[in-house]
């Protein structure tokens, strides 16, 4: 076990060659476990600074709740989408008497690991998280689950851990957006997406690709890019516009990227949407603050936050079994504005 990582009941079970359930009973002083075995397990736990998540256990089995704190991990605060999700979580939690403890991963795996360790030490009753872009190892999430701490993913889900999740319908959102661009006359549509290890990237890319195929247009890998922020969009787009067969439309993974494309296209002396159409994905405040206003896919972040909080609190209070994996999908909506015909 990593010396820096909090010990879990799974680690103790492995040490003694027994089940996690047996460890749990021993730590609760259950008479079902022999006194000798109970004392040995309890002593080992004390020597290794293991502290069971007492608050979570109390919350799951009692209406008298001494402390209700939910840990929330946010990759970044700059995106309207994440702030709207956070608002949904906070309002829903407050309505049931919970408070939230928010931590910023800054899109960095090592920060995410440290946050999970701290949440464990602080004895939060559950964690709601959207993983960082570069996260490829999921042991820190599994340790939370092994410690009996309910975990719910939102937006960027972790397929390496069997935990509940709430996502928007990324595939259909992308499919409908690209279909709209095609139906308004676009035939060469570029795709700007996030790194493909993220499920949202795969789903939006598949929606983009399937819309092309459904409408009889060829898929051209040369006009797809890993690009999910405005700065990179402004750097990459001039190269795309200089192609012999330049795109006549762009579909971007988020609004900030789409706005970067929009300003670059306008600086190049081209008209939007007459020469080039653009569609984003978020429908944040910036989508109506640009000229022309942005056609985009509305993600309904507030609803995502509400659903994630409800799932977590139901598990904390024992209304839903800890081991039950909830998978909820929030539908998207295409909002047509001035950057498409």
pLDDT tens, residue by residue, 113-140: 999 999 988 889 999 999 988 888 889 9
What pLDDT is recorded for position 64? 45
Per DSSP, the residues of 97-124 read T-EEEEEE-TT-HHHHHHHHHHHHHHT-
Average of per-residue pLDDT across 318-335: 93
Residue 38 clears pLDDT 50, i.e. is over it: yes
Average of per-residue pLDDT across 6-33: 85
332: which residues sit within 8 A by CB, 6+ positions away?
A: 168, 169, 170, 172, 173, 176, 297, 298, 299, 300
Average of per-residue pLDDT across 196-211: 93
In this prediction the pTM is: 0.74
Which residues are 103's β-sheet partners? 73
Helix axes 35-47, 20-27, angle to 10 degrees: 90
Which residues are 167's β-sheet partners? 329
**Measured between alpha carbons, how far is residue 116 from residues 58, 101, 149, 317 in Å?**
21, 12, 11, 21
Contact of 178 with 207, CB cutoff 8 Å: yes
Contact of 212 with 177, CB cutoff 8 Å: no
pLDDT tens, residue by residue, 142-183: 999 988 899 999 988 887 888 999 999 999 999 999 999 999
pLDDT tens, residue by residue, 63-119: 444 468 999 999 987 778 889 999 999 999 999 999 999 999 998 889 999 999 999
Q: Which carries the bigger pLDDT value, residue 141 or residue 52? A: 141
Residue 62 clears pLDDT 60, i.e. is over it: no
What pLDDT is recorded for position 6? 64
**Strand-strand pairing, 249-252 and 99-104:** unpaired
Residue 311 clears pLDDT 80, i.e. is over it: yes
Total residues found in the chain within this entry: 341
What pLDDT is recorded for position 66? 43
């Amino acid at each position: 076990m990593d010396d820096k990582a909090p010990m879990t009941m799974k680690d103790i079970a492995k040490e003694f060659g027994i089940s996690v359930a047996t460890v749990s009973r021993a730590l609760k002083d259950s008479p079902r476990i022999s006194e000798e075995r109970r004392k040995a397990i309890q002593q080992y736990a004390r020597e290794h600074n293991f502290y069971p998540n007492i608050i979570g256990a109390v919350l799951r089995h009692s209406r008298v709740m001494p402390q209700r704190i939910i840990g929330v991990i946010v990759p970044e605060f700059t995106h309207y989408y994440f702030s709207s999700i956070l608002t949904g979580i906070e309002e829903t939690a407050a309505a049931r008497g919970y408070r939230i403890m928010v931590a910023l991963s800054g899109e960095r795996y090592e920060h995410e690991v440290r946050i999970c360790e701290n949440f464990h030490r602080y004895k939060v009753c559950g964690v709601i998280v959207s993983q960082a872009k570069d996260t490829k190892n999921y042991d820190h999430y599994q340790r939370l689950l092994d410690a009996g701490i309910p975990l719910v993913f939102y937006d960027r889900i972790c397929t390496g851990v069997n935990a509940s999740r709430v996502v928007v319908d990324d595939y259909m959102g992308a499919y409908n957006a690209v279909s709209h661009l095609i139906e308004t006359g676009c035939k060469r549509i570029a795709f700007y997406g996030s790194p493909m290890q993220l499920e949202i990237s795969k789903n939006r890319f598949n929606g983009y690709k399937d819309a092309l195929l459904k409408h009889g247009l060829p898929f051209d890998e040369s006009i797809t890019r890993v690009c999910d922020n405005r700065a990179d969009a402004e750097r990459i787009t001039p190269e795309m516009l200089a192609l012999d067969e330049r795109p006549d439309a762009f579909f971007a993974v988020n609004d900030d990227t789409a706005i970067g494309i929009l300003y670059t296209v306008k600086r190049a002396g081209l008209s939007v949407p007459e020469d080039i159409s653009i569609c984003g994905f978020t429908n944040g405040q910036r989508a109506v603050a640009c000229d022309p206003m942005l056609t985009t896919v509305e993600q309904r972040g507030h609803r995502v936050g509400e659903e994630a909080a409800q799932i977590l609190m139901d598990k904390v209070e024992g209304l839903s079994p800890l081991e039950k994996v909830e998978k909820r999908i929030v539908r998207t909506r295409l909002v047509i504005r001035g950057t498409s015909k």
